[in-house]
Structure 1
């Protein structure tokens, strides 16, 4: 039985036409000699004034996202396993719209440098609404989701800097079989100690 026999509607992959050369890159497409910070499912290219934080799930202590502070913005990224031939971003965008609507927020679809994206206004108790841009790229057997907050969500110049940062990310899918939509494991960077 093939993936297409399961009854699910296959969606085309979503991403920039130059993704394989301009990023985000698959591990097989990346320059192996560049000094990346290895976080498991993603590798990050260090740059001046880039802050890196790992989001850790309280109960399991599992790393569930990487947050990058850069150019007055925060870019949170998560890599997911995906089917070889179809994309996840179209379906995931619809889920984000529903989730933000349930929180009382609004979303506006727009076209960005990576293809379709969402501009969201999310209510915050006792404060002004928070703006965020949801971007996503379907790669070979992976999907990389990004959430841009801060200046990059609404300011074009700051947004371009964060888009460049997103393009520099390398996704490490690995060879372990994983169901589509499972988070590709992330971990703390190695500190030079033996594994």
Structure 2
């Protein structure tokens, strides 16, 4: 697993046309408690995970992580997992005990995308209801194109986890399968402190690797930066 700087430009594969419903194959969705993402109370041991505070990540060969930082507060606001040519940005938020946030947030994201001149399509995918968004963007050669992202959301016990897939994983189910598996393996640590709904759960820099892992893992992190986002949570 490697860490690196947040990329300042979108991948070339993001500048593609809006996918049709046929390109995102509809599949059945299993229950969250059985298939993930998981709550910290549902995991017996955490030693094998990379601890980023509110989110625990299971290491995987070839996985690269980018921590994205808010300039004004210097707090970590998101983690992006890169695997191959695709990536998924992850954020965890506090949520009410009695109801989920995803239906309302999904509609707010759609409104935000439309206000930017983009288009959205709601589909039922492997993680439940998801939103495919395309926003006008300039391609590397200067011609007009679209930046495509796939928004997914999972409501857990007093938390909400949002993922934004980009690259081939935004429109090709085969390309997304491994990243989706990684997303499902995430563990959310909500904590006991009272927090208003939609407040970002605190992410932290990971601890430095132990000496016996130094040969396999990088010895430190490069200075993280805030990466590009299509829209805020609402």
- Out of 37, 43, 58, the position equivalent to 2:56 is 43
Instruction: Please list the CA deviations of residues 11-54 of structure 1 after superposition, one character each: whole Å capped at 9, or x if unmatched.
Output: xxxxx542112100000112415510100110000000000011
Residue aligning to 1:27: 40
Of 123, 132, 136, which residue of structure 2 is paired with 1:123?
136
Do 1:79 and 1:145's aligned partners in 2 also have CA atoms closer than 8 Å? yes
Contact 1:71 1:162 in 2 (8 A): no
Determine the C-alpha separation between the residues in 1 that align with 2:151 and 2:209: 34
Change (3 A) 1:17 1:155: closer
> What SS does structure 2 have at the residue aligned with 1:181?
coil
User: How many equivalent residue pairs?
Assistant: 178
Offset, 1:59: 1.2
From 124, 127, 148, give the equivalent of 1:111: 124
Q: How does 1:75-90 map to 2 (within 5 A)?
A: 75-90=88-103
Counterpart position of 1:67 = 80
Q: 1:192: how far off?
A: 5.8
Give 1:140 shift: 0.4
Report the counterpart of residue 96 of structure 1 in structure 2: 109
The answer on whether the counterparts of 1:51 and 1:70 sit within 8 Å (CA) in structure 2 is yes
Deviation larger for 183-192 or 52-61: 183-192
* TM-score after normalising by structure 1: 0.87
Residue segments in structure 2 that go unaligned for 5+ positions in a row? 1-28, 211-234
Aligned counterpart, 1:5: none
**Alignment partner of 1:169 is 2:186:** yes
Q: Give me the CA root mean square deviation.
A: 1.4
The yes-or-no answer on 1:184 pairing with 2:201 is yes
> Are 1:71 and 1:161, in contact at CA under 8 Å, matched by a contact in 2?
no
Q: Map 1:123-162; keep pairs closer than 5 Å.
A: 123-125=136-138, 126=142, 127-162=144-179
How far residue 71 of structure 1 moved from its aligned partner, in angstroms, is 3.4
Give the deviation of 1:114 after TM superposition. 1.3
Runs of 4+ in 1 over 3 A off after TM superposition: none
Higher strand share: 1
Give the whole-Å Cα distance in 2 for the aligned partners of 1:178 and 1:82: 8
Q: Deviations over 1:118-170 (max 9, x none)?
A: 01111113452111100000000000000000010111111111111110100
TM-score (norm 2): 0.73
Aligned-pair distance for 1:76? 0.1
Deviation at 1:98, TM superposition (A): 0.7
Of 62-71 and 31-40, deviating more is 31-40
